[in-house]
Amino acid sequence: MKAIELLYRAALEIRSERILVINAQAHPLLLTIKEQCSHLDIQQHFKPEFAAIEHIGLSVSPHWPDSGNMYDLILLKPSKNKQQTQAWMALAFNSLKDSGHIIVACANEHGAKSYESALEKLAGNIASRSKSKCRIFSARNSAAFNSELAKQWIDTALPCRIDSYGLISRPGLFSWNRADTGSSLLLDQLPELSGIGMDLCCGFGLLAEQVMHKQMIREQMVRKQMVRKQMIREQTGVEKIHLVEADILALDCAIRNTQPWQQHILSHWSDATSDPLPSDLDWVVCNPPFHTGQNRDVGLGQSIALRACASLKRGGSLYLVANRKLPYERLLQSELQSCQTLIETNGFKIIKGIR
């Protein structure tokens, strides 16, 4: 039995009128919870899970409920990032009625014991039990709630400017507090791009921001040369970049990071494996994920790579970074006119393909 099912079953044991589910997942028991309470709010910021909840007929929001909404019961499924999950716990208490319950369920292998300890620090006494290699733990909103710790956890998880490239990111995003090795390697291999392109699975927008930043520097240099020589140069370079990302929290950061070039930016909260994507593109840059939640999923990255190929116009270019051991070449060769590995180092490889 998965943690999400245990979480929903535990909810049905407590009579509650107003319920909030944080980081929800689609499950038939969620429909039962809806039937047995007078008001149910469901939050999910990741597009595939969001769509799955909508598919079973329930309303869901990617955003936290408005302040002032108070609940008898809040259900929480932890993310794989501890800072993000602790902030969710703290925010949950701010939305709990007096004596209201919060229930958390997590697989042991995904850090259940650590999250249980975190809730105990925040709430004081907790109830806990183990089942199916998971832990279910709960607490009431009482005088034991540590409001100072809650504020600290909330503040720690807010969007902030990180040292890498001076961009805005937040806990919970991929490589949230640094530029990952693969993306940095890809940036080193990118030529001067032009036309209409896409940063597929853009995260907090590192690739798109650097493409535009480097173009800005080149244009400034050219402009100075043109002024000195009293020449006029036609505008070239990137016309548009489509930001495509499944995590709306990451996309919000990407939009902020590319704000200086907002006239060139189009953002899409989309599941790159199934939602319609921009097409007829001159280029695509991509650092595809290969995990679904906390589980390795090589097929996920391959599916995204195929969608990237399909988005290109004839003669368009794909620049993709991947773990050195992941099998992309044969797949790309079947979809593209040409495919080559530009560099392989530090456990990563950069692949260029032309459709």
What is the pLDDT, as a whole number, of residue 66? 85
Which of 92-96, 212-216, 268-272 is the least confident region?
212-216
* Number of Cβ within a 10 Å radius of residue 27: 18
What pLDDT digit, counting tens, does each position of 6-41 carry? 999 999 999 999 999 999 999 999 999 999 999 999
CATH numeric code, 3-156: 3.40.50.150
Distance CA 160, CA 170 (A): 6
What pLDDT digit, counting tens, does each position of 111-151 carry? 999 999 999 999 998 999 999 999 999 999 999 999 999 99
**Res. 230: pLDDT tops 60:** no
Q: For the chain, what is the mean pLDDT? A: 93
Query: 79: closest CA among 176, 168, 210, 144?
Result: 176
Question: What percentage of the chain reaches a pLDDT higher than 70?
Answer: 94
339 phi/psi in degrees, rounded to 5: -155, 130
Say whether 160-354 and 3-156 share the same fold: yes
232 confidence band (pLDDT: 50, 70, 90)? very low
Distance CA 337, CA 315 (A): 8
Q: How many helices, marked H, and strands, marked E, lie in the chain?
A: 11, 17
* Number of Cβ within a 10 Å radius of residue 149: 16
CATH numeric code, 160-354: 3.40.50.150
**Res. 229: pLDDT tops 70:** no
| Residue spans per domain, the chain | 3-156, 160-354
Distance CA 70, CA 344 (A): 53
What pLDDT digit, counting tens, does each position of 68-78 carry? 899 999 999 99
Partnered with residue 14 across adjacent β-strands are: none
Whole-structure pTM value = 0.93
**Cβ atoms of 341 and 329 closer than 8 Å:** yes
